[in-house]
Amino acid sequence: MIRQIVALRHVAFEDLGTFADVAAARGIAIVYREAGIDALPRTLAEDTALAVLGGPIGAYEEDRYPFLLDELRLIDAALAAGRPVLGICLGAQLLARALGARVYPGKAKEIGFAPVTLTPAGEKSCLGQLAASGNVVLHWHGDTFDLPAGTERLAETPITPNQAFSRGPGVLGLQFHPELRAAELERWLIGHTAELSAVGIDPRDLRRDAALHGARLEAAARAMMAAWFDGLGIPERAATPASAAARA
């Protein structure tokens, strides 16, 4: 049974967001490791999953950011041991690379709230829960990857054909960001202000779209992650009498 998630974090504001709420409801602790600062374990315990989060660097830039090799080694070890692995944005790119796929600059930056198109496999997967948000998610990336061998493509957009993939129930890569809490968007706008200016995106537009889509996306993302945990056989904790009374 999974009791904790080791989450590799590259920038402070790109955390597990709403996914952490779902983990807490299942009694799963989140242990963050700061990329490039904290030492990473060589292996993960049997009760531990791995999450690799987003960040504004390339998954292929180990010459500039050598710690990426440590992350790849840990991903390799987790995959070899059969541990659940979740990759988001940069994390999905690193996961794809660990699975032998090429990661490279995409045709254009994809930033903002917009839908993904689910493949038939995606509709049957945990991503099917995103229908509650009209499949609208937050995109924030410039790189992309080839679909790793032995995986299923779950989602696509016209700019980025490989938006999500899975390998069995325990390995999930998401190029987009369903985990965002809309109330925390300002942290992203501040942290990525140079990038937004460079591509001519007005932060006021992102605020407007977050107000429009945020609540539905949060609910859909929680349902999506709950479905992923269900697929891993991780149940919600039974409510105690005190907690049940508090909700009544």
Residues annotated catalytic, as ranges = 89, 177, 179
pLDDT, one tens digit per residue, over 161-179 is 999 999 999 999 999 999 9
Residue 208 confidence (pLDDT) above 50: yes
Residue 78 is inside which H or E element, if any?
Answer: helix 67-81
pLDDT, one tens digit per residue, over 73-129 is 999 999 999 999 999 999 999 999 999 999 999 999 999 999 999 999 999 999 999
243 inside domain: no
pLDDT, one tens digit per residue, over 180-196 is 999 999 999 999 999 99
246 inside domain: no
**What length is written for the chain?**
248
Domain that holds residue 136: 4-237
Which of these, 159, 138, 149, lies nearest to 216 by C-alpha position? Answer: 138
pLDDT, one tens digit per residue, over 213-227 is 999 999 999 999 999
pTM (two decimals): 0.94
138 inside domain: yes
| Domain at 31, CATH number | 3.40.50.880
Percentage of the chain with pLDDT > 70? 96
247 inside domain: no
Residue 241 confidence (pLDDT) above 90: no
Which of these, 232, 215, 188, 186, lies nearest to 51 by C-alpha position? Answer: 232
Predicted confidence at residue 243, as pLDDT, reads: 38
Cβ 160 vs Cβ 175: under 8 Å: yes
242 inside domain: no
72 inside domain: yes
Which of these, 188, 170, 171, lies nearest to 179 by C-alpha position? Answer: 188
248 inside domain: no
Domains contained in the chain, number = 1
70 inside domain: yes
DSSP string, 147-177: PPTT-EEEEE-SS-S-SEEEETTTEEEESSB
